[in-house]
C-alpha cells in the first residue's frame, strides 16, 4: 500500500496507538490484580465472584457491539475519548463500591461501565493498529498487543504492591483511572481524522452517509472466513481472559498461596504474554501464521495442565509462563488476518473482536459455577479444550499475501 501520510505523521500515529494499548492493559490488570481483595471486601463466594465479573464481560460485549456505531457517529478521536472516559469512571466507581460502600450491585454496575469502555476501545484501537500497520508497511500488530501486555505487567505489579501495602482498592483504582485518562487524552490528538470512520470530512472528500457505513459493516458477518478466524480468536481470548479473571484466585484458593503471591503469578502470566508478543512479529514472518498458532496451542495446553496439576510452586510458575506464551499471539494474529482484506477492514476487525470477546461474556460465570462445584483448578480444564480447538482451526488465518517484514 502506498503511504498517503508523511513519515513524521505516521510515527506519531503509531506511538499514539501504542499508548492506547498500554493504558488499556494498565486499567484491566489494575482491576484484575485486586479481585481477591474485592472478593474479601464484599464477602463473596467463588460463584458470586463469577457473577460480579459477568458485569465486566456483559459491558465489554455491549461495548464491542457499540464500537462500530460510535465510530460512525463520532469519528475515531471523539469515540476513543468517550470510551476511555467511560472505563475510567467505572474504575473509580468499582473501587468506591468495594472500599467505601461495600455494595456488590454497585460494583457490578461499575464493572459494566468498565467493560463497555474497554470493549469499545479495544475495537477502535485495533482498527487504528491495522490501519497504521498497512500504511507503515511493517508487521506491527503483535508489538501493539505486546504494549497492551506491558500495560498489564505494570498494572499487575502496581496491584501486587498495593495489595502488599494494604492500599484500599478505591484509592488504587482511582489513581490508575486518572493516569489512564490523561495519557489517552493526549494520545488521541495524534490519531488522524478519516471521513470513512465518521470524522469531520474534508470538503473535497465525499463522505459515505452513516446508514451506508453501518450496512457495509454488518455485511461482513456473511463472510465465512471471518467466522473461522473468530473461532481461533475465541479460543485464545478465552485462555487470555480466563487468566485475567481467575489465575490469581486459582493460586490463592487452589494452591493455598497469599493474595500478594496470586497477584505476582498473574504478573508472571502477563510478562510471558508480553515476551511472546514482542518476539511474535519476527517469528510470524519466518514461520507463518498457521505453524505459529499451532505451536501456541501446544504451549498453552501444556502450561494449563501444569497450572492445574502442579505439586510445587515452581512448576506452577513454569506452567503460567507456558500458558502466557501460548495465549500471546491468538488475538493479534486474528486482527491481522481479519485486516488482510482491506475492503471494509474496520468492520472485519470489529466482527472478529466481537466473536473473541464472546469468551469474556460466557467465561466468568461458567468457570465460576464450575469452580464453586468442583474447584477452580478443575474449572480450568474448559480452557484446555478451547485452546486445543483454536489450534485445530489455525489454517483459517493463513496469509492471503506475503506480510512485509518488520524493519
Residue 346 confidence (pLDDT): 66
Sequence-distant contacts of 248-251: CB under 8 A, at least 24 apart: 248/32, 248/33, 248/35, 248/36, 249/35, 249/36, 249/39, 249/46, 249/49, 249/376, 250/307, 250/376, 250/377, 250/380, 251/316
Render pLDDT for 245-260 as a digit per residue (tens, 0 to 9).
Answer: 788 888 888 887 787 7
* Weakest-pLDDT range from 116-130, 337-351, 376-390: 337-351
Pick from 351, 342, 335: which is nearest to 67 by CA? 351
The pLDDT assigned to 406 comes to 39
Which helix H or strand E contains 241, and what residues bound it? helix 224-242
Q: Tell me which of 120-124, 139-143, 158-162, 302-306 is least confident.
A: 139-143
Chain-wide mean pLDDT for the chain? 83
Average pLDDT for 336-357:
75
pLDDT given at position 240: 84
Average pLDDT of the segment spanning 176-181:
93
Distance CA 243, CA 380 (A): 9
Confidence tier at 209 by pLDDT (50, 70, 90): low
pLDDT at 140 over 90: no
pLDDT the model gives residue 377? 86
Query: 321 pLDDT exceeds 90?
Result: yes
pLDDT > 60? residue 201: no
Distance in angstroms (rounded) separating the CA atoms of residues 245 and 242: 5
| Residue 403's pLDDT band (cuts 50, 70, 90) | very low
- CA angle (305, 29, 73) in 5-degree steps: 115
**pLDDT band at 1; cut points 50, 70, 90:** very low
| Cα gap 113→118, rounded to integer Å | 9
Please indicate whether residue 20 or residue 9 has the higher confidence score (pLDDT).
20
Catalogue all structural domains in the chain, each as residue range(s) with its CATH number.
Answer: 7-191+220-397 (1.20.1250.20)
CA distance 103 to 169: 13
pLDDT at 215: 64
pLDDT (mean) for 10-14: 89
User: CA neighbours within 13 Å on the CB side: how many for 23?
Assistant: 31
Query: pLDDT tens, 274-315?
Result: 889 888 888 888 888 899 999 999 999 999 999 998 878 888
Per-residue model confidence (pLDDT) at position 199: 56
Q: How confident is the model at residue 207 (pLDDT cuts 50, 70, 90)?
A: low
pLDDT mean over 345-361? 74
Looking at residue 181, its pLDDT comes to 93
Summarised one tens digit per residue, pLDDT across range 73-124 is 788 888 999 999 999 999 999 999 988 898 899 999 999 999 999 989 988 8
User: Where on the phi/psi map is residue 5: left (φ > 0), alpha (ψ -120 to 50), or beta?
Assistant: beta
Average pLDDT over residues 362-374: 77
Average pLDDT, integer, range 9-32: 91
Confidence of residue 407 (pLDDT cuts 50, 70, 90): very low
Cβ neighbors of 398 (< 8 A, separation 6 or more) are 288, 289, 290
pLDDT at 187 over 60: yes
6 secondary structure, DSSP code: -
* Four-CA torsion 298, 300, 302, 306, nearest 10 degrees: 180
Q: How many contiguous H segments (helices) and E segments (strands) does the chain have?
A: 17, 0
Give the cell for residue 109: 454496575
Determine what percent of the chain is predicted with pLDDT higher than 90.
25
**Mean pLDDT across 236-241:** 85
Checking if the pLDDT of 212 tops 70, the result is no
Look at residue 402 in the predicted model and tell me its pLDDT: 46
Give the mean pLDDT of 325-349: 80
Query: Is residue 399 over pLDDT 70?
Result: yes
Q: Residues 296, 300, 303, 308: what is their CA dihedral angle, to the nearest 10 degrees?
A: -170
On whether the pTM is more than 0.95, the answer is: no
Confidence of residue 214 (pLDDT cuts 50, 70, 90): low
Amino acid at each position: 500500500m502506498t503511504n498517503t501520510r508523511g513519515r513524521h505523521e505516521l510515527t506519531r500515529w503509531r506511538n499514539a496507538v501504542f499508548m492506547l494499548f498500554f493504558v488499556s492493559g494498565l486499567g484491566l490488570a489494575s482491576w484484575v490484580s485486586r479481585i481477591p481483595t474485592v472478593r474479601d471486601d464484599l464477602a463473596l463466594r467463588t460463584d458470586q465472584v463469577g457473577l460480579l465479573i459477568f458485569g465486566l464481560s456483559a459491558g465489554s460485549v455491549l461495548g464491542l457491539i457499540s464500537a462500530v456505531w460510535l465510530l460512525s457517529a463520532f469519528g475515531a478521536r471523539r469515540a476513543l475519548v468517550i470510551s476511555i472516559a467511560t472505563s475510567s469512571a467505572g474504575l473509580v466507581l468499582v473501587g468506591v463500591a468495594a472500599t467505601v460502600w461495600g455494595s456488590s450491585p454497585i460494583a457490578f454496575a461499575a464493572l459494566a461501565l468498565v467493560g463497555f469502555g474497554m470493549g469499545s476501545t479495544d475495537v477502535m484501537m485495533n482498527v487504528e493498529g491495522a490501519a497504521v500497520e498497512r500504511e507503515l508497511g511493517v508487521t506491527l500488530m503483535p508489538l501493539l498487543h505486546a504494549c497492551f501486555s506491558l500495560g498489564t505487567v505494570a498494572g499487575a505489579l502496581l496491584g501486587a504492591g498495593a495489595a502488599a501495602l494494604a492500599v484500599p482498592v478505591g484509592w488504587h483504582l482511582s489513581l490508575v483511572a486518572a493516569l489512564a485518562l490523561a495519557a489517552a487524552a493526549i494520545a488521541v490528538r495524534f490519531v488522524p481524522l478519516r471521513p470513512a470512520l465518521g470524522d469531520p470530512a474534508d470538503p473535497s472528500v465525499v463522505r459515505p452517509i452513516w446508514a451506508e457505513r453501518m450496512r457495509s459493516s454488518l455485511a461482513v458477518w456473511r463472510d465465512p472466513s471471518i467466522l473461522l478466524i473468530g473461532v481461533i480468536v475465541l479460543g485464545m481470548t478465552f485462555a487470555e481472559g480466563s487468566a485475567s479473571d481467575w489465575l490469581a484466585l486459582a493460586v490463592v484458593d487452589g494452591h493455598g498461596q497469599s493474595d500478594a503471591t496470586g497477584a505476582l503469578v498473574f504478573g508472571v502470566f502477563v510478562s510471558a504474554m508480553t515476551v511472546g508478543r514482542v518476539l511474535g512479529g519476527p517469528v510470524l514472518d519466518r514461520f507463518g501464521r498457521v505453524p505459529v498458532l499451532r505451536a501456541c496451542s501446544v504451549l498453552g495446553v501444556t502450561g494449563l495442565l501444569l497450572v492445574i496439576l502442579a505439586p510445587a510452586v515452581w512448576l506452577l510458575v513454569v506452567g503460567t509462563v507456558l500458558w502466557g506464551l501460548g495465549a500471546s499471539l491468538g488475538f493479534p494474529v486474528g486482527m491481522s488476518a481479519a485486516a488482510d482484506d482491506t475492503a471494509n477492514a474496520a468492520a472485519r476487525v470489529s466482527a472478529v473482536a466481537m466473536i473473541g470477546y464472546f469468551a469474556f461474556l460466557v467465561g466468568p460465570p461458567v468457570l465460576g459455577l464450575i469452580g464453586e462445584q468442583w474447584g477452580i483448578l478443575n474449572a480450568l480444564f474448559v480452557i484446555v479444550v478451547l485452546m486445543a480447538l483454536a489450534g485445530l482451526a489455525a489454517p483459517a488465518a493463513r496469509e492471503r499475501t506475503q506480510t512485509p517484514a518488520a524493519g
